Amino acid sequence: MSEYVGALISVVAIAFITGLVRGTAMCTFLCGPSLVSYTISEGRNWKKGALFALKFNIGRIAMITVVGGVIGYFAGVLVAGGFDIPLITLLILGYFLVGVYSIILGMILYSRARKRQLNLECDCRSRFMFLEKLQKKYPKLFANETFALMILGLIMGVACLLEITLLDAIILASASALFGASFGIATAATGAFTMFMFGVGSAIPVIAFNASAGYASSKFTHKKMNSFAGIMAVALITMGFILVLRQGLLLLVMLSAS
């Protein structure tokens, strides 16, 4: 029993630390620009910034936890079947899609930042195009700030769904000795909990970053903060292009080798 608990703690710790690392880099770059834009327009202090990011991450963590449970339940199939080569290919494809998504989102956010700088009429809330259409159709539903932020977080969770799925599979596969031949409820619960801790770990840097943005927005003028939002959007676009080029080249190499 003690070995089981020790191994379980080890798996959860790996997920949490991986989440912290991911949150500091990938998640902050992906989620930061949209949250900063929202914070600049809606909140002008660090408490508001932290609260916005917390509500945003509730939806993202919920999505990650559910995916972790599903993958955990089917971990036996993954471990027994082997997935080394498909795993690498899917991981590269996942990063490629995240890069494309980053470019599109970055361009939208940059356009909005420029409009604010030029004092043009602009809806500064960072939502996706189809969400804006839903907002017009169901105004009362999207008037709820918590709901809107949770939905945005849910979508961001979907954007990185492939990477999360593969990460969960890797962790559970590496811990297959922990469960022996018994896959099902035990691995589903473990998968959900490990991905929950991964989500919590990745949320901490995002919350800290957005709280800092909220604090900065209370100290600086709207013009300066809009410039910062534009810089964040450019950083997001740059990261997207790097991911697309790098992962695209890797995909071409793998396809030509096969």
> pLDDT tens digit string along 78-104?
555 555 555 667 667 777 877 887 788
This prediction has a pTM of 0.72
How would residue 245 be classed by pLDDT, with cut points 50, 70 and 90?
Answer: very high
**Distance between CA atoms of 7 and 17, rounded to whole angstroms?**
15
How would residue 169 be classed by pLDDT, with cut points 50, 70 and 90?
Answer: low
Give me the mean pLDDT over the 3-14 stretch: 74
Residues near 161 by beta carbon (within 8 Å), at least 6 away in sequence: 63, 67
Determine the distance from the C-alpha atom of residue 81 to the mean position of all C-alpha atoms in its chain, rounded to a whole number. Answer: 29
Give me the mean pLDDT over the 60-88 stretch: 70
Alpha helices per DSSP H over 74-144: 75-81, 84-117, 129-137, 139-142
- Residue 161: its pLDDT value, please? 62
Name the residue with higher pLDDT: 78 or 34.
34
Percent of the chain whose pLDDT exceeds 90: 4
Q: Give the mean pLDDT of the chain.
A: 74
**Distance between CA atoms of 16 and 173, rounded to whole angstroms?**
17
Q: Lowest-pLDDT range, 67-71, 76-80, 248-252? A: 76-80
**Distance between CA atoms of 225 and 232, rounded to whole angstroms?**
10
Domain of 199 in residue numbering reads as 2-257
How would residue 139 be classed by pLDDT, with cut points 50, 70 and 90?
Answer: low
- Residue 204: its pLDDT value, please? 93
Cβ-contact 46, 207 below 8 angstroms: no
Percent of the chain whose pLDDT exceeds 70: 66
Determine the distance from the C-alpha atom of residue 202 to the mean position of all C-alpha atoms in its chain, rounded to a whole number. Answer: 8
* Residue recorded with tokens 């990185």: 160
Amino acid in position 243: L
**Distance between CA atoms of 34 and 37, rounded to whole angstroms?**
5
Domain tally for the chain? 1
DSSP letters spanning 83-94: -HHHHHHHHHHH
pLDDT at 222 over 60: yes
Give me the mean pLDDT over the 184-211 stretch: 86
Instruction: Report helix, strand or coil for 254.
Output: helix
pLDDT at 128 over 50: no
Q: Lowest-pLDDT range, 26-35, 58-67, 143-152? A: 143-152
